[in-house]
């Protein structure tokens, strides 16, 4: 298998001093990350300083969101072009917490993904069903709709990369393990939809599908051992350098 992609999403959970402290600890641990692709997504307010700390390591810089225009009268928004200047290589798009709390729509998400391709930043498109949707047997329908809304009409040029992060909304922050068989199966369905949208070679060579939702050092191996799961998006367990490093090490073994 390719090197697993492990992305840390620190959300809005750390004060500046805590973010910098965590970044320094990850830098110290980073020799363990060889053989994995590791990305950290701090808050915007710490992007520059965290970027400084991890530069010259194998840890890459990500952001948790961006706006869908490069520049203009958009008070309070953050341009992906500015993020690029700070060395950001990955940006989360359409996280369920933004879809739910900020009413982010499929159209907004589509525009963000489209812009990121033009800037050579890798979008990490987050998709996932709620518990009610799952109970109603709508999981596949919801994931298919979210993928089509975000990606229809877009194309990847040579060199462009895309990451899909499947995060069941009901698992995020819950501490629950999900049957790895189910996760593997859901990832296969996601791949089927991607094959409907893009050419086969694009899906195979330029797109990764990763899993997120209460990933920890104990369960990551079981998820990543599924061929269709190419990495993890980690929230809570990414806030502790020891736990996060253990996740990376386990993922490499699987």
Residues taking part in catalysis: 95, 167
Tokens of 166: 């499947």
Nearest to 41 by CA among 99, 126, 113, 106: 126
Which residue, judged by CB position, is nearest to ligand 13P in the bound state? 235
Is 173 an interacting residue with respect to ligand 13P (CB under 6 A)? yes
Assign residue 158 a region: left if phi > 0, alpha if psi is -120 to 50, beta otherwise? beta
Rounded-to-5 percentages of helix, strand, coil across the chain: 45, 15, 35
Part of the chain binding ligand 13P (CB under 6 A), chosen from 104-112, 156-164, 189-197, 208-216 = 208-216
Tokens of 67: 């706006």
Using the rule CB under 6 A, which residue among 50, 215, 246, 248 binds ligand 13P?
Answer: 215
CA neighbours within 13 Å on the CB side: how many for 125? 31
Q: How many CB atoms lie within 10 A of CB 194?
A: 19
The Cα–Cα gap between 12 and 53 comes to 19
Is 62 an interacting residue with respect to ligand 13P (CB under 6 A)? no
Nearest to 155 by CA among 189, 114, 204, 208: 114
Using the rule CB under 6 A, which residue among 42, 94, 212, 231 binds ligand 13P?
Answer: 212
Is 183 an interacting residue with respect to ligand 13P (CB under 6 A)? no
Inter-residue contact 165 to 208 (CB < 8 Å) = no
Q: Which is nearer to ligand 13P, 16 or 173 (CB)?
A: 173
Part of the chain binding ligand 13P (CB under 6 A), chosen from 71-79, 180-188, 191-199, 228-236 = 228-236
Using the rule CB under 6 A, which residue among 213, 219, 220, 224 binds ligand 13P?
Answer: 213
Is 16 an interacting residue with respect to ligand 13P (CB under 6 A)? no
Residues 6+ apart with CB under 8 A from 148: 193, 197
Residues in contact with ligand 13P, shown as a per-residue x/- string from 86 to 125 under the rule CB under 6 A: ---------x------------------------------
Using the rule CB under 6 A, which residue among 19, 122, 214, 219 binds ligand 13P?
Answer: 214
Name the minimum Å distance from CB 173 to ligand 13P: 4
The continuous run of DSSP H or E covering 193 comes out as helix 180-197
Using the rule CB under 6 A, which residue among 236, 240, 243, 254 binds ligand 13P?
Answer: 236
Part of the chain binding ligand 13P (CB under 6 A), chosen from 83-91, 113-121, 207-215, 217-225 = 207-215
Inter-residue contact 167 to 208 (CB < 8 Å) = no
Using the rule CB under 6 A, which residue among 51, 80, 168, 235 binds ligand 13P?
Answer: 235
Q: Which residues bind ligand 13P (CB under 6 A)?
A: 9, 95, 167, 172-173, 212-215, 233-237
């Amino acid at each position: 298998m390719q090197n697993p992609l492990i992305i840390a999403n620190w959300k809005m959970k750390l004060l500046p001093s805590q973010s910098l402290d965590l970044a320094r600890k990850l830098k110290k641990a980073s020799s363990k990350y060889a053989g994995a692709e590791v990305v950290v997504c701090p808050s915007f307010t710490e992007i520059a300083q965290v970027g400084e700390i991890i530069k010259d390591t194998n840890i890459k810089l990500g952001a948790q969101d961006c706006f869908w225009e490069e520049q203009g009268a958009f008070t309070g928004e953050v341009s992906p072009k500015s993020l690029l200047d700070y060395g950001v290589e990955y940006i989360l798009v359409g996280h369920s917490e933004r879809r739910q709390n900020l009413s982010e729509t499929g159209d907004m998400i589509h525009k963000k993904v489209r812009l990121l391709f033009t800037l050579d930043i890798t979008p990490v498109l987050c998709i996932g069903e709620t518990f009610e949707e799952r109970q109603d047997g709508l999981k596949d329908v919801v994931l298919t709709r979210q993928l089509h809304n975000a990606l229809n009409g877009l194309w990847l040029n040579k060199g462009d990369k895309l990451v899909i992060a499947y995060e069941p909304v009901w698992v995020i922050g819950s501490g629950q393990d999900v049957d790895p068989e189910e996760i593997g199966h859901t990832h296969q369905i996601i791949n089927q939809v991607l094959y409907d949208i893009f050419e086969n070679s694009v899906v195979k060579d330029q797109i990764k599908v990763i899993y997120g939702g209460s990933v920890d050092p104990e369960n990551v191996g079981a998820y990543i051992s599924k061929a269709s799961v190419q990495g993890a998006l980690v929230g809570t367990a990414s806030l502790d350098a020891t736990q996060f490093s253990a996740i990376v090490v386990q993922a490499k073994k699987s």
